[in-house]
Chains A and B, each alone.
Chain A
């Protein structure tokens, strides 16, 4: 296997890690940008998506994806909407308090998952058409193998990202979201139902996290603590990208995913974590508001 193929293989792995990170971080970034809410239970939406795909797989084994992914999206989105209406709404303007309260929610959801599915978690076998890989046998990239599952995840992240770009750019709801994001009071004065926009965005972000969990279920076992292992990295992505920007979040996910894949090859998983953190802190020295900062003349920022 040539070193070029090896490097490309790493890049490919990094890209698939980045895709999951992106799906996990999008909801966080959206809800922070719009509502200044830090949702620590976001990882548990991811976990729930994974378990929903498992449930779909148990019910109809051949349609685990066609049925599972929509189920994962819908289930997490509904739970997200319920959470927003019952709890998050009471805590607007207190970002650090939302962090603590939603951590409580995440403990409840984790324990519920433990009681329902057992502490060790469950596994979903990917359908046959996803279990192979594209192997390149000749030419400069000989030895490179691209697993179908990972290609599928990258494609899923791409589709979600395109969908969001369309939503924000073309749809009326997206226009409302952008308006509330820019100036909540003004949008409200002009007749935008800001409360509805809040619920919508929170549900959308939760649903996307559910999709991330569903995609993750195809490559790794789903455990009650799977959300926790992704949430910290997802937050780093949001910080690095700049809170509340789609472009920044996408770039940051790509950067962190590929960097950690590289760091894990050259050092170890644990050192990679340290290196990524150092990288983010160092980067923020130059651009304290992230890769893509929304320009504002307001003095007070959350």
Chain B
């Protein structure tokens, strides 16, 4: 058993190692694309934890994505300034003094900490308020969606201090290194791969702890967990906050790769699209979620530029088909096929003896929301 888990761990680490060497075999354009999609993959893994493992559908992940993204973007805007200067969009909007809540972001350390801490604090407050009173998962989905709407509207309306509809863009340097340079690009790529691997490892490790098991137990039978003497709320809160931190990290990395963060990436529609990536890839599978994220985004990039009309039709169809036909997404499809193949080869080679129960256990991930 031990050897099996070690080899599966190595197998799981392999793609990250391969991606780490990507600067050697990918051109600058594709390297950037890989970095962008991988940072979105971190967010997708967060949704797997919250939705696939915790059974709570988060429809406001864009908010936490945005909090992380804006935190780093504000820092980049501020470091580009000379003493006494204001960011360009503030000057255009006639803002004369730097708002108080911008000031801490002058420091790189504070900004980096804010990428994680701000989404965590917001998520903690929201989760505490909703889970404490035993609200159902449906309420939480709808409230987080309303939060996404409020956040995006607020960002757009406060043009003078948030950059409004255009968001924050035109960054020059990252920790003193000009962003166009090779070492900035490669450093950023390595940081993304490293953080993605870390997030993956953390998510897996969390699943193996007692808390992680309770999270899934709450998903499958909240009242049974309650009767066994546990309060479900702390575990739901825990997993919700972890999901938000993943989203914040993803937002910061994505902002650095793309050079832009705007309300168009944080509102209701982008938040729900994030859930679709995971639904396509498989809501209970970490790798499935990353693959789903890459597939949907590649499809969007190629299709929406060629036939902008077709994209929404296609997206709508995919949505309906995935939910109706394969609730466990691509990962579920692959698993089902794998189990069938294994069972067939087993019945041919070793007709008796080995119980199939174990194989079935692997497949028994949630098919219900």
Q: What interface size band does chain A fall in?
A: 35 or more
Known: A91-B324, A236-B146. A104 touches B141 (CB 8 A): no
* CA gap between A228 and B272 in the complex, in Å: 13
What 1/0 flags go to A254-286 for Cβ under 8 Å of B? 000000000000001111011001001100110
Q: Looking at the complex, which of A93-101, A125-133, A188-196 is the stretch in contact with chain B?
A: A93-101
Asked whether any CB of chain A lies closer than 8 Å to the CB of B317, the reply is yes
Asked whether any CB of chain B lies closer than 8 Å to the CB of A105, the reply is yes
Q: Which residues of A contact B154 (CB under 8 A)?
A: 270-271, 273-274
Would you call the interface of chain B mostly helix, strand, loop, or mixed?
helix
Asked whether any CB of chain B lies closer than 8 Å to the CB of A7, the reply is no
Asked whether any CB of chain A lies closer than 8 Å to the CB of B57, the reply is yes
Q: Does the CB pair B133–A277 fall under 8 Å? A: no
Q: Looking at the complex, which of B229-237, B308-316, B350-358 is the stretch in contact with chain A?
A: B308-316
Asked whether any CB of chain B lies closer than 8 Å to the CB of A249, the reply is no
Q: Does the CB pair B157–A105 fall under 8 Å? A: no
Q: Which residues of A contact B81 (CB under 8 A)?
A: none
> Smallest CB-CB separation from B315: which chain A residue?
A107
Q: Does the CB pair B309–A115 fall under 8 Å? A: yes
Identify which of residues 94-119 in chain A touch chain B, using a CB-to-CB cut-off of 8 Å.
94-97, 99-101, 103-108, 110-111, 114-115
Asked whether any CB of chain B lies closer than 8 Å to the CB of A185, the reply is no
Shortest CB-to-CB span from A45 to chain B, Å, is 16
Asked whether any CB of chain B lies closer than 8 Å to the CB of A90, the reply is yes
Q: Residue among A99, A107, A110 with the most chain B CB within 10 A? A: A107
* CA gap between A243 and B138 in the complex, in Å: 10
Identify which of residues 24-77 in chain B touch chain A, using a CB-to-CB cut-off of 8 Å.
57
Q: Which residues of B contact A94 (CB under 8 A)?
A: 327, 368-369
What 1/0 flags go to B330-369 for Cβ under 8 Å of A? 0000000000000000000000000000000000000011
Interface size on B, residues (CB 8 A): 47
Shortest CB-to-CB span from A87 to chain B, Å, is 7
* CA gap between A99 and B275 in the complex, in Å: 11
Given B134, B149, B153, which contacts A288 in the complex, CB threshold below 8 Å? Answer: B134
Q: Does the CB pair B136–A301 fall under 8 Å? A: yes
Shortest CB-to-CB span from B149 to chain A, Å, is 5
What 1/0 flags go to B104-147 for Cβ under 8 Å of A? 00000000000000000000001001101111111101110111
Q: Does the CB pair B323–A101 fall under 8 Å? A: yes
Known: A105-B320, A107-B316. A235 touches B147 (CB 8 A): no
> Smallest CB-CB separation from A228: which chain B residue?
B268
Known: A94-B369, A270-B154. A108 touches B317 (CB 8 A): yes
Asked whether any CB of chain A lies closer than 8 Å to the CB of B279, the reply is yes
Known: A270-B154, A270-B156, A273-B150. A108 touches B324 (CB 8 A): no
Would you call the interface of chain A mostly helix, strand, loop, or mixed?
helix
* CA gap between A90 and B327 in the complex, in Å: 12
* CA gap between A94 and B57 in the complex, in Å: 12
* CA gap between A288 and B134 in the complex, in Å: 7
> Smallest CB-CB separation from B279: which chain A residue?
A100
Identify which of residues 194-242 in chain B touch chain A, using a CB-to-CB cut-off of 8 Å.
223
Shortest CB-to-CB span from A294 to chain B, Å, is 14
Q: Does the CB pair A285–B133 fall under 8 Å? A: yes
> Smallest CB-CB separation from A289: which chain B residue?
B135
Asked whether any CB of chain B lies closer than 8 Å to the CB of A302, the reply is yes
Known: A87-B320, A274-B150. A100 touches B268 (CB 8 A): no
* CA gap between A243 and B142 in the complex, in Å: 12
Asked whether any CB of chain B lies closer than 8 Å to the CB of A59, the reply is no
> Smallest CB-CB separation from A282: which chain B residue?
B129
Asked whether any CB of chain B lies closer than 8 Å to the CB of A38, the reply is yes
Given A97, A239, A284, A302, which contacts B323 in the complex, CB threshold below 8 Å? Answer: A97
What 1/0 flags go to B271-306 for Cβ under 8 Å of A? 010011001000000000000000000000000000
* CA gap between A21 and B313 in the complex, in Å: 28
| A-B contact list, 24 entries, CB within 8 Å | A91-B323, A95-B138, A100-B275, A100-B319, A101-B323, A103-B272, A104-B315, A104-B319, A105-B320, A107-B315, A107-B316, A108-B316, A114-B309, A228-B268, A232-B145, A232-B149, A238-B142, A268-B157, A270-B157, A271-B154, A274-B153, A284-B139, A299-B223, A301-B136
Given A94-B327, A270-B156, 15 more contacts at CB 8 Å? A32-B138, A38-B142, A91-B323, A93-B368, A99-B57, A104-B316, A107-B319, A236-B142, A239-B142, A243-B138, A270-B150, A270-B158, A271-B157, A301-B136, A302-B136
